[in-house]
Amino acid sequence: MAVTERDPHTGYLTTGHEWNGIKELNTPVPRAVYFFLIATALFSLVYWVLMPAWPLGVSYTKGLLGIDQRTTVDKALKRAALDRESWTKRIEAESYQAIQADPALMPIVRQTGRSLFGDNCAACHGLSAKGGKGFPNLTTASWLWGGDPETIAETIRVGINSSHPDTRVAQMLAFGCDQILPRADVENVVSYVQSLSDAAAAKQIPATKLEAGQKLFAANCASCHGDDGKGKAELGAPDLTDHNWIYGGDPQSIFTTVWRGRQGHMPTWENRLGSLERKILALYLVDLRSRNP
Amino acid sequence: MIGQLTIGERQFALVMLLALAVIGFAIAVAGRDDLLGGHGALVILVALAGIFAVIHGYYLPAPSEQRFERYYDDPTKVGIIVAMGWAVFGLFVGDWVAWLLVYPELTFDAGWSSFGRIRPVHTTSVIFGFGGNALIATSLYVLQRTSRARLPDQLSPWFVLFGYNLFCLLAVTGYMMGITQSKEYAEPEWYADIWLVIVWVVYFSIYLRTLARRKEPHIYVANWYYMAFILVVAILHIVNNLAVPVSLGHAKSYSSFSGVQDAMTQWWYGHNAVAFFLTAGFLGMMYYYLPKRANRPIFSYRLSIISFWGITFFYMWAGSHHLHYTALPHWVQTLGMTFSVMLLVPSWASAANALLTLNGAWDKVREDATLRFMMVAAVFYGLSTFEGSFMAIRSVNSLSHYTDWTVGHVHAGTLGWVAMITFGAIYASVPWLWKRESMYSARLVEVHFWLAVAGTIVYVFAMWNSGIIQGLMWRTYSESGTLAYSFVDSLVAMRPYYIARAVGGLLFLIGAVVGCYNIWMTIRTAPRTAGEAVSAKPDSVLVGTPALQPGE
């Protein structure tokens, strides 16, 4: 038999049960709880009537408002495209030179290009496009495959050593590993290559070494990098006479490059970015370079 | 420990451990060319350690019949200590992960320490290691007292406790090796999942067998919550982990679900794990320890029942709010959102029931940090359930989803509610269990309380800021109609908040370490209480109490 008692503090009766000293008051459920239960249930009912809500076997209740997330997204995308049409059409239609000379279009290119670059390219080339070891600096005049906007757009489209059928292909041979040149020859050619861009270092290297290196360079390297070492953009061979090095310009790094070879990789962006976006990126990079002292 | 087992139980324990060793051996052989082999070896080691322990105590005298006069609390004691161990480990890894987001080089170039591996180590250690052990430990304690019945035997609670920790160990070591089925909060692979099912069924059977022998006419509400926790977690666990292993010699398995069905099953599981693991179980804890510590009757029996059924019913539908604006059909999202909104009412009713129970005991809340832990837990429970229902609204979710706001919300719940109610319950039960007058140092409980509150607030505010800034940056358009920021820009903007979050987590970790020290010192050094005359201490003697309680 349950014995109820009155709680002196609240004045409510207990239920009469006790568990290990714990009792429960028989307080009625506060009105607010019922009120909010009914209010939220009513809200839900109205929402179910208006929106897609309940399954009906193979279909579902569509809701009086006729809203569906897929059509909503489609409409929003179309509206956004319309909003941008005023300038996207012009960028698509006009030549690179015309856009570059247009004071109305270039601010849009800078703004849009920046976030496009940040979301797609910065993972390798860095947010400021200055690259890092193994990833080219895109703010200099030194471009492997050419730095005019058309060429940059094409490189973005097909990639380098990528899976695209028209990919740009280039490979620096592993002159040491593949035993094309003996170690002494590799060391000589490394000294010569270093001297091309580093006049101070050149003074420290014995003339005989440089001479031997020069001959080896003419025989083995010039076909891609040119007799003067200034590279050939049509082959993707870098200029060795400037200060821009992808893999490092110190003797050890150059040695590693000649000994083991190099084959960088850039993915194709054709399936990920549209032609408009690739064009904006190319324009953005050329603009970035022009503003880089 | 072995001395408390009957001779028959010792023999059965040996048989089970031998079987476990054989299973471990089979796994090690079958999986010798796979990561699975390492787990086979781990199982063998654990089984051998168990066998040695049982043999070591095998010839101890059999326990006396007097044991039936007392509740069986040793599994609870071990469970509490193990839970605190997992807490410190899990919080440490969590803070490491937090610093990793500030200094990515803190992986020290190792594979096992990469973000994707130690993040689940953190979540599993704190949710399942800390939370799960605390639930098992306190549930066995509460079950016996509110039923006035001793656990049915001595062996099965140890099987549940050690078996459960073996599961946690397999999970955590697996992640670091690279074993995961990539389902959030359900990462362990098929063999660990099967093991957990066995453990869990035994756990539920302990509950049923004890309740069947109860001497109270009614089942106390805490046991309703604990049972909902055990039963529903079993259902969720089994369904979400239905998978086909590549072979019996491989750790890898493939889920039975694919595509959007897989996502829906996962978040039905994921959200109900929040509901029945992190909410129902800890509400059970709250319904015992809070009124006990405050020495007040529960504010309203009716409110506790209406909340129980409200929570149980509404939560089941809410999981799809994790998949707003995805490939999941719109109508499923609608149901998830509306049920999440209705869910707020029973959630707040539970929080209100807890806080109103404190009426008449607010002076104790001011003076007693243990009770204050529980009070703040109830407040955070209310805050995070409001936030959860709010974030489940589709248009709010479009801002909050995928941002740190979600992370902040989860931690408001786990740090503010789950961990605080657990610390409160542990500080209440340690003196009861070890027959001490009080904790070693009330001041240190106070220190822990303020470290925990400060850590939680710093953490949650940092993530609110960071999450809302992220959400806004991702949807800000320039005048020309294109996105104004790249994702990397938003990462740069997060950095100060990530530092603040890691500092908040560190405060919380230090608090847990202080708690461990205090508990250890209580067990080691505090004086034993004289007799049974401690006011807050529940009666641990069965025989000698009146056959009928006043309420019967």
The three-state (H, E, C) secondary structure of chain A, written as one string: CCCCCECCCCCCEEEEEEECCEEEEECCCCHHHHHHHHHHHHHHHHHHHHCCCCEECCEECCCCCCCCHHHHHHHHHHHHHHHHHHHHHHHHHCCHHHHHCCCCHHHHHHHHHHHHHHHHCHHHHCCCCCCECCECCCCCCCCCCCCCHHHHHHHHHHCECCCCCCCECCCECCCCCCCCCCHHHHHHHHHHHHHHHCHHHHHHCCHHHHHHHHHHHHHHCHHHHCCCCCCEHHHCECCCCCCCCCCCCCHHHHHHHHHHCECCCECCCCCCCCHHHHHHHHHHHHHHHHCCC
To the nearest 10°, the Cα dihedral for B134, B139, B140, B143? 160
Sign for the CA dihedral angle at B254, B260, B263, B267 comes to: negative
Q: Does B261 contact chain A (CB < 8 Å)?
A: no
**B534 part of contact set with chain A, CB < 8 Å:** no
**What pLDDT, on the 0 to 100 scale, is given for residue B535?**
36
- Residue A85: what pLDDT? 93
CB contact under 8 Å between A1 and B325, yes or no, is no
Cβ of A30 within 8 Å of Cβ of B342? The answer is: no
Beta-carbon separation of B549 and A108 below 8 A = no
Query: How far is residue A234 from each of residues A38, A147, B320, measured CA to CA in Å?
Result: 74, 11, 54
Q: What pLDDT, on a 0 to 100 scale, did the predictor assign at position B1?
A: 78
On chain A, the residues whose CB falls within 8 A of the CB of B304 are 24
Task: Flag if A18 and B550 touch (Cβ within 8 Å).
Answer: yes
Q: Nearest C-alpha of chain A: how many angstroms from B323?
A: 12
Q: Taking CB atoms and an 8 Å limit, are B480 and A119 in contact across chains? A: no
In B, minimum Cα distance to A41 occurs at B342
Contact (CB<8Å) B217/A17: yes
B297:A22 CB<8 A: yes
B340 contact A CB<8A:
no
Q: Does A43 reach chain B within 8 Å, measured CB to CB?
A: yes
Q: Which of A2, A53, A84 sits opposite B334 (nearest CB)?
A: A53
Q: Which of B71, B145, B326, B335 to mutate to test the interface with A (most CBs of A within 10 A)?
A: B335
Mean pLDDT by 10 residues, chain B (552 residues): 91 97 97 96 97 94 88 96 98 98 94 96 98 98 95 96 98 97 96 98 97 94 97 97 96 96 97 95 97 96 95 95 96 97 97 96 96 98 97 96 97 98 97 92 97 98 97 93 92 96 98 98 75 40 40 33
Determine the residue among A3, A9, A24 to mutate to test chain B binding: the one whose Cβ has the most chain B Cβ atoms within 10 Å.
Answer: A24
| A-B C-beta contacts closer than 8 Å | 166
A109 CB-side CA count, 13 A: 26
Chain B residues touching residue A16 (CB < 8 angstroms): 551
Contacts of B344 in chain A (CB under 8 A): 36, 40
Q: Which residues contact B534 (CB under 8 A, 6 or more apart)?
A: B431, B437
B546 contacts chain A (CB < 8 A): no
Distance from the Cα of B335 to chain A's closest Cα (Å) equals 6
- Compare CB distances from B488 to A68, A112, A122 and report the shortest one's residue: A122
Classify burial at B312, counting beta carbons within 10 Å of its beta carbon; exposed 0-12, middle 13-18, buried 19 or more: middle
Q: Which domains does chain A have, with CATH numbers?
A: 14-60 (no CATH), 71-167+266-290 (1.10.760.10), 183-260 (1.10.760.10)
Pairing of strands A14-19, A59-60: unpaired
Interchain pair A112, B306: CB under 8 A: no
Q: Does B524 lie at the interface with A, CB-CB under 8 angstroms? A: no
How many whole angstroms separate alpha carbon B475 and alpha carbon A53? 27
Task: Give the per-residue pLDDT at B532.
Answer: 36
Best residue in B150, B219, B221, B301 to probe A by mutation, most A CBs within 10 Å? B301
| Alpha-carbon distance A114 to nearest alpha carbon in chain B (angstroms) | 8
Are the Cβ atoms of A27 and B310 closer than 8 angstroms? no
Q: What is the number of alpha carbons within 13 Å of residue B133 lying toward its C-beta?
A: 29
For each of chain A's 293 residues, which pLDDT tens digit applies?
A: 467 889 988 889 999 899 999 999 999 999 999 999 999 999 999 999 999 999 999 999 999 999 999 999 999 999 999 999 999 999 999 999 999 999 999 999 999 999 999 999 999 999 999 999 999 999 998 899 999 999 999 999 999 999 999 999 999 999 999 999 999 999 999 999 999 998 888 888 999 999 999 999 999 999 999 999 999 999 999 999 999 999 999 999 999 999 999 999 999 999 999 999 999 999 999 999 998 76
Q: Do A61 and B331 touch (CB under 8 A)?
A: yes
CB contact under 8 A, A33 and B301: no
The packing angle between helices B330-357 and B281-294, to 10°, is: 10
CA distance B217 to chain A (A): 9
**Is A221 in contact with A189 (CB distance < 8 Å)?**
yes
Q: Do B480 and A108 touch (CB under 8 A)?
A: yes
Residues A170 and A160: their CA atoms lie apart, in Å, by 8
Residue that has been written with the tokens 């019945």 in this structure: B149
Q: Do A21 and B310 touch (CB under 8 A)?
A: no
CB-nearest to B484 from A9, A41, A115 is A115
Task: List the single best residue of A7, A13, A19 to mutate versus B (max B Cβ within 10 A).
Answer: A19
Residue A14 sits at the chain B interface (C-beta within 8 Å) = yes
The confidence score (pLDDT) of residue B9 equals 95
Q: State whether A118 and B488 contact (CB < 8 Å).
A: yes
* Residues of chain B contacting A15 with CB distance shorter than 8 Å: 301
Residues of chain B found within 8 Å of residue A14, distances taken between Cβ atoms: 297, 551
Give the nearest chain B residue to A17 (CA atoms): B551
